[in-house]
Each structure stands twice: as structure tokens, then as C-alpha cells.
Structure 1
Amino acid sequence: MTFDRIAEFVLTARDIPESAMEMAALLLMDTVGVAAGAAGMEAGRIARDHAFNFHAAGASEHAAQMIFDGRPASIPGAAFAAATGIDNLDAHDGYNPTKGHIGCAVVPALFAFAEARPEMSARDAICALVMAYEISARAGIALHASVADYHTSGAWNALGVAALGCRLRAASPDALRQALGIAEYHGPRSQMMREIANPTMLHDGSGMGALIGSMAVMMAQAGFTGAPALTVEADDAGAHWSDLDHVWTIEQNYIKPYPICRWAHAALDALSELKAAHGFSPQEIATIDVHVFAQSAALFSGMPTTTSQAQYSLHFALAALLVHGQIGPVQITGAGLSDREVAALLPRIAVQEEARHSERFPEGRWSDVTVTLKDGRQLASGDVNARGGPEAPMGNDEVEAKFRMMAAALSEQRITALWQMHTRLLLPETTFEDIAQLVRAPVENTHG
């Protein structure tokens, strides 16, 4: 596919299947819920304060209010702050073939760029969001195919942000080309497994992806040039773009039931199914044997002292799910990190890599769990693939329940009003400003 056709899709595409539009609306709401949950967490607070202090706009037309905060920053600053917060509450959507995440960068960018267009319909905003998912997905796959390192999502979701900004700012095809080149060149080519080995607030690089992608738009429109994006224009990248505008990858994104790295989710689902079927309590458990793929086996194995470690954990996540029956912001922050009942379970959990599960990564996230009870019974889950994706989607009731748990820092009235936007976003009379007004105001309460 030539760049001209890609540019046409980015800047003008509106003939999008309704199923893709509906999925985009659902992913938007899911990401908004995560953003609300992240607002009171330390990483999000630091990012917003940083954006307010050091990424201010020089003119009002270049400013955007930070979501769930209300203070102004520059458009790139507002996108950076929200993406960093969302990235640090690891409950946002993802796409298996990219081994990473799209919504955590492009949804914050949508709110930041859209503030200058209060008249924009929600449908037009959702069209732009679908486009950004499609560009991000292909850029991510192309980048993974062209380099040896396993890089964070910010390395490629920056291109989706740049495409989104160019569309909303009515950029020319040449400005788009320069913006994609700038975003790819400066995108954070950070090493994912370093973060897995030492979990920190750096997380998956999507805060920097949102910042760089947004900056690339402004710089390109001002005349700054960038080398053509290899993930878009290189000869060997063409195969990854050939199905653009007739295969809608957004419909293959997963929604996460837990704010934990998805590498842990198959084991969490397997253990949850066993507990539901057999009704055992944590006190009845002698051992838990967990067989996982290699990347899952590399997750943090101790009792976390930080939220970052908790979100990149396997042993802790399994224990927390057993003790509390759910994992939400409360379980991975504050007192949740020193829960004695959870800590007591960790020595009973053994994790090892299983070759057949590793062979199915990244197309699937497979694990199996065997629970041995103190009375001698052994309960085996069999092979389980992480749910939330198209092969085992969460129902709307589950997604709403997750949204309400994540957004618990908001008032009940605001939570309900936000969730009701899910059914209104695709109506012709709805403006994107209708939801943006609900999202920009500060949270009513915080946790952490």
C-alpha cells in the first residue's frame, strides 16, 4: 500500500463498519474508567504536576485541560500526563500481535486534541479513534518485525497519536508524513524486559509515546521535517499495511479484567475458575503449581513494595485474587501491598515455564494451574487462554462492573453519567464535548 493511500485513510476515512465503531466506543469507555482509577495514584499525580509545571501552553489555542484534573497544560503535556497515569494502572486494552497497548496513548491524545474542536460530533471522534488504533496496530507489528529488541508500546503507539493529531488538526498529507517520521524517530525505543525485571513507573513507555506523537504533529505543521517512517514506508513493511481499511484490528483488541500485566491473566483466570468450581478457601490450599509461557514466568515473584511491582507480579496477583476475590486499585496500592493473608500464600505458589504455552505466545496467553488442597485433592484447570479478547470476550455487564470498580474515586452520579455515554457516543446528535466535560473535572475522592 502506498503512502498516499495510507494518508487518505488517516485524514479522511469515514466508511468504517459499525462493529468497529461500537468496539471503539467500548474501548474508549474502558480506558476512561482506567484513567479515573489512575487519577489518585502517585505516578499519575506526578505526571500531571510535571505537565502543569513544565509543559504549559504559550497560547490558549495550544492548551488542553488534563483529564480528571482540570488544570491546563499544552496539548502534548495533557496527552503525556493522562497516558502516563493510565499506563501505571495496568488495566487498559491491548492487541496481542503488537505485544502491547494502543488505547492508553491514543485516548488521552483524543481528549487533548479534541478540546480545540468543541463542535466535533462524537461519531467523528470515534472515527478518528478507530483510525488511530489501525495505524498503531500496524506500526507496532512492523516495528517488532524489523528490530530484534522487545520494545515498549510507546515506540509505536506514538505513530497512532501522530496520525490522530494530524486528522483532528486537518494536516496536509505532507505534514502527516513528516509527523509519522518524527514520531517514529523519537519514539521511546525502550526495552520492555528491563521494566519487567525491575518494575517502575516507566511502565510501557506510553506516556512518552503520547508526548512524542503529539509533539510530532505540532512540529510537522510548523515545518519541521522527519525522515520517512520505516514502519510505514520501507519496502519490507508493505505487507503489514496491505489490509488497511478492510481488516479492522480494533475488533481484535482485548479488555483486561484485572489491573495486572496480561501475562499473568491466564493463570489468574485458571485459578478463578478452579475456585468458582470447587469453593475452596485460601486456608485449605497446600500448594499452587502454575505452568506459564516464558514471559509470564519472568514476572515479579515476591511480595511487592510498590504498585509497579504489584502490577508486574504473578505470585502476588494470584494470592490477592484468592484472598479478595477481585483485583482492583485498592489491592495494588497502599495497604494492599502489605496484606498479611496475601503474603502468607506466596510461599505456596510455584511457577515454571511450559514449552507449549511459550510456543503460543504472542498469539495467545496460555497457562494452566493445579491446586493441591491440604486434604490431598488435586484440582487441575487444564490449559486456559487469557479472557477479554475476541476468543473469550467480557460481557457488557462485566465491562460495566470493571468500569465502576476502576472509577470508584468518582461520585456515583458521575460514574453513572459517564457509563451512560457508552450508548450515546454513536448517536448523531452527541458531541464529543458531552463526554469531555464529564472527564476533565478533578476526581471527587482519591486513593493511594
Structure 2
Amino acid sequence: MADSTHTDPATSDTFARVAEFTLTRPVEAFPEQTLEAAALMLLDTLGITIGAGPMDAGRIARDGAVALYGTDQPGTSARMMFDGRRVSLAGAGFAAATQTDNLDGHDGYNPTKGHIGVVVVPALAALSETVDDFSGREALATVTVGYEVAGRAGISLHDTACDYHTSGAWNALGVVAMAARMRGMSAEQMRQAMGIAEYHGPRSQMMREIANPTMLHDGSGWGAMVGLSSAVLAENGFTGAPAITIEEDRVAHHWDDLGTFWQMEHQYVKPYPICRWAHAAIDATRALIREHGLTHDQIAAIEVNTFHESACLFQGMPDDTSKAQYSLPFAVATMVAHGRIGVEHITGDGLTDPLVAQIVDRITVQEAARHSDRFPACRVADVVISTVDGRELTSGDVHARGGPEAPMDRDEVVQKFMEFATPSLGAARAGAIRDAVLGLTQPDARFSDLGALIFDAP
């Protein structure tokens, strides 16, 4: 985005619309189906946060937060999720978002080319430690505010910036909106916090991480940290330049439908803890295997045709979890070998699975222009499987499951949560969290019904 910007009456109207939506819109003005979608995405993201807890990235992030951001100052500190140690608001957000981001199974929104829940859930948990208890429906309204503001900020950034930035570059603004609503900030304080967060948000290049997968992932740990830091700074009088993803005249039209079109209802859920760009190829392969009753030893070769960004994913066998989650051939091979992709396949012995390695050698990946033309509106791929007996099986164009084009139903999302949460927490605690989250839509529910379950270490 250009460094030289200006504001005009239209952009002033845009911020006023964002402020009204964020700070004064009552829970009753949020559609029921939107709040239900918020509860389901909250549950889905919590499952990934829990499942990621034992992984190295989450452990390092939590220990790092204690070392770097440890404090017990009233009003600006919080316990870390599923850990219990108290650190600053920013540290708690950073730790949980980094942990969640490093198990690539959390939700996303196609037009943003990125992820929102990964910062919204950590922010909700951390901020809840600094305010009085509130209703379950207010919790879901606040979650929705985070998604709606972050999503539009992401679209605005991608529409005007010359590079493809990670989610942390824009989802920090959704965190600010949540903090402003929950902590009773004024519109002017929120405006300054938005400006601080956008200015300091991690304008990290997504394709660098794709080419060299690491624990940096999608920059969302820093997005959460910057958003929460910015809110506290603005409350104390620190000022920031206007957030141009909201107030610059070129992006005003992206905010026109705020409060009428609910992005909250159009997130995708990931069936696998793998970069979303690989999912269409995984699903196309899965469909062919099921349709024809194939086993791995009947497959001679797999040809994947996909969009450009997907074709850039890591090739070959990964040697760490970060690469495993950004490897399309590895993901497809794991599906062929095991019929599913779980945490055990992208960690530990799963990284040296000899059967998966054999299948990876049979897979080729190439870009197809027709698939690239439809990105980022949708993620589509097709697969051709050649069998050892000479058949050539084609999938046709396949949308990645879990999004608006091929949605997972409510029961599948709940089942996914239990699959990821139970190994760390046990069935009883995982079930209690499930029931508390889904119960937040009830008129008498309080956030503390859930809050009592999400801070203690497993």
C-alpha cells in the first residue's frame, strides 16, 4: 500500500461505521445464525489450540511468553490457555495464537487468503481475564466483531498492497476491535489502537514461509500480540497514524456491507491439519480411492493439477512438522497410506513413515491455469491416478471440503473438536468444553461457564 495516504469524508464515515458496529451494536442486533456460526468456529479453533499444546512450537511460545512478557499487573495480565501461568495480555495472546497457528487445522476465509479464528480465540480468552464476567451471547458477538473487522481489513490489504502478506498483518485489527468492545474503549482510543496495530503489524511475506516452512507460519502470533499491545497503549494515550485498511479512500467499498453481510457465516473448516492449499488435492485423491476401492499398492502414479500457490508448497518428504504441514505430496501420500491425516502423521515417527515416503515418490504436482484463475475465491484441484493394472482414473475439478462450496456439517465439526482435544485433555474435560461452547448461545449462559475450563494445564 502507498505510504502517502489521505482521508476524506467517505473514509471518516467508514471508521464511524466500524466504531458503531464494534462499540455500540447490541447482542440482539446480531443474527441468531451468525452467533451459532461463531460458537462452532470457537469450538473448532479451541480444538486446534488444545491439539497443538504438546507440540514444540506451542511449548516454546508459552515458555517464551513467561521469559519475555511475564507479569501479574492487574488489568493487563492473563493466564495462558491450557497452561495457567500468568503473563501480560500481549504475551497470553502471542502464546496461544502461535500455538494454534503451528497446527494448521484452524479455520480460514477464502477472500482474505488467511485466518481469523487463530487470533480471535486467544484474544477472547486473554481479555476475559481483565474484565468482569459477561454473557455467553456477548462472547459470541465479540467473536463475530473480531471476524468481521479482521476479514475486511485483510481484503483491503490484499487489494492494495504489492506483496502477499501473512494473516498477522491484518488480523491484529480484529483483535483491537475485540479489546475495544470488551474493555469499553472510546471510539477515539479504538481509532488510535487500530492505527498502532496496522503500523506495527507483521507485514511478513507469506510466500517466503511457503518456500521455507518454519514455526513462523502465518504470522498470527505476532498479530495477536500487536493487537493486544496496541489496545493497552492506546488506553494509556499512545497515538497512531490512521489505519489505512479502514480509512484510506481506496478501501472504503470493502466496508460498505459491515453489519449486513456476515463473513462469520462463510469461514471454512479444515478437515486436516495441513495448509488449506493442499486440501483440494487431498480431497480429490480421497474421493477416487473411496470410489474405486483402491489401496496404496494398486496405485502406480498420482498427478496433481492445482493452482499456483498450491504448486509452490514443499515437495518431497519433510523433516519437521512445519514442512509437513506445508507439503502437498506428503499430505496426499499420507491420505493414500492411512485414509486420514492426524497430528500423529505430521509429528514424531510420522515424519519418517516409510510407506508414505514410497508413495511421495509416485506423486507429481503441476500448476493448472484454470485453477489459478479461481484463486483466492476458491481452492480447486484435480487428480489423475494411474493404477498398476493400466487404468487412468480422473477426479475432475474438486473443491476443498469444509468451505461454502463443500461444507462440513455441524456434527462433523464437533467430532473434529473431540478428535483433536481428547488426546491432551481426556474425554471428560473435552466434552465439558464442547458443551460449554455450544451452550454459549443460550440466554442464561455466562462466559465463565467456558472460562473455568480453558486455563488449567492438562
The TM-score, its normalising length taken from structure 1, stands at 0.97
2:381 is paired with a residue of what secondary structure?
strand
| Shift, 1:341, TM fit | 0.5
Deviates most, 395-404 or 193-202:
395-404
| Shift, 1:421, TM fit | 2.1
Q: Percent identity?
A: 55
1:230 and 2:244 correspond: yes
| Shift, 1:418, TM fit | 1.4
In structure 1, C-alpha distance between the alignment counterparts of 2:145 and 2:306, rounded to whole Å: 34
2:364 alignment counterpart = 350
| Shift, 1:57, TM fit | 2.2
1:132 alignment counterpart = 146
1:214 alignment counterpart = 228
1:37 and 2:51 correspond: yes
In structure 2, C-alpha distance between the alignment counterparts of 1:16 and 1:204, rounded to whole Å: 29
1:12 alignment counterpart = 24
2:333 alignment counterpart = 319
1:93 and 2:113 correspond: no
In structure 2, C-alpha distance between the alignment counterparts of 1:8 and 1:387, rounded to whole Å: 35
2:428 alignment counterpart = 413
Task: Determine if contact 1:21/1:126 at 8 Å carries over to the other structure.
Answer: yes
One-letter amino acid of the counterpart of residue 75, structure 2: E
In structure 2, C-alpha distance between the alignment counterparts of 1:29 and 1:123, rounded to whole Å: 14
Task: Determine if contact 1:135/1:159 at 8 Å carries over to the other structure.
Answer: yes
1:288 is paired with a residue of what secondary structure?
strand
Q: How many residues align?
A: 443
1:332 alignment counterpart = 346
Per-residue CA deviation, residues 190-228 of structure 1 (Å, 9 max, x unaligned), is 000000000000000000000000000000000000000
1:432 and 2:444 correspond: no
1:360 alignment counterpart = 374
One-letter amino acid of the counterpart of residue 153, structure 1: S
| Shift, 1:62, TM fit | 1.9
Task: Determine if contact 2:381/2:397 at 8 Å carries over to the other structure.
Answer: yes
In structure 2, C-alpha distance between the alignment counterparts of 1:154 and 1:423, rounded to whole Å: 28
In structure 2, C-alpha distance between the alignment counterparts of 1:423 and 1:140, rounded to whole Å: 28
1:446 alignment counterpart = none
Q: Which runs of 4+ in 1 moved over 4 A?
A: none
| Shift, 1:5, TM fit | 2.1
1:376 and 2:427 correspond: no
After superposition, the CA RMSD in angstroms is 0.9
2:78 is paired with a residue of what secondary structure?
strand
Deviates most, 418-427 or 209-218:
418-427
| Shift, 1:61, TM fit | 2.7
One-letter amino acid of the counterpart of residue 19, structure 2: A
In structure 2, C-alpha distance between the alignment counterparts of 1:76 and 1:313, rounded to whole Å: 31
Task: Determine if contact 1:38/1:86 at 8 Å carries over to the other structure.
Answer: yes
1:423 and 2:438 correspond: yes
1:341 and 2:355 correspond: yes
1:150 and 2:164 correspond: yes
Match of 1:252 among 266, 288, 309: 266
1:2 alignment counterpart = 14
Task: Determine if contact 1:103/1:133 at 8 Å carries over to the other structure.
Answer: yes
2:300 is paired with a residue of what secondary structure?
strand
Task: Determine if contact 2:300/2:362 at 8 Å carries over to the other structure.
Answer: yes
Task: Determine if contact 2:302/2:363 at 8 Å carries over to the other structure.
Answer: yes
Per-residue CA deviation, residues 263-300 of structure 1 (Å, 9 max, x unaligned), is 00000010111111111111111000110000000000
1:386 and 2:400 correspond: yes
One-letter amino acid of the counterpart of residue 418, structure 1: I
Task: Determine if contact 2:76/2:232 at 8 Å carries over to the other structure.
Answer: no
1:54 and 2:54 correspond: no
Ranges in structure 2 where 5+ consecutive residues have no aligned partner: 1-12
1:425 is paired with a residue of what secondary structure?
helix
In structure 1, C-alpha distance between the alignment counterparts of 2:150 and 2:303, rounded to whole Å: 37
2:304 is paired with a residue of what secondary structure?
strand
In structure 2, C-alpha distance between the alignment counterparts of 1:350 and 1:175, rounded to whole Å: 53
1:294 and 2:308 correspond: yes
1:265 and 2:284 correspond: no
Task: Determine if contact 1:118/1:433 at 8 Å carries over to the other structure.
Answer: no
Task: Determine if contact 1:118/1:431 at 8 Å carries over to the other structure.
Answer: no
Task: Determine if contact 2:179/2:228 at 8 Å carries over to the other structure.
Answer: yes
Q: After the TM superposition, which residues 56-95 of structure 1 pair with which residues of structure 2 at under 5 Å, given as runs?
A: 56-95=70-109
Task: Determine if contact 1:158/1:184 at 8 Å carries over to the other structure.
Answer: yes
| Shift, 1:8, TM fit | 1.1
1:123 alignment counterpart = 137
Task: Determine if contact 2:47/2:417 at 8 Å carries over to the other structure.
Answer: yes
| Shift, 1:58, TM fit | 4.8
Deviates most, 182-191 or 377-386:
377-386
In structure 1, C-alpha distance between the alignment counterparts of 2:438 and 2:371, rounded to whole Å: 38
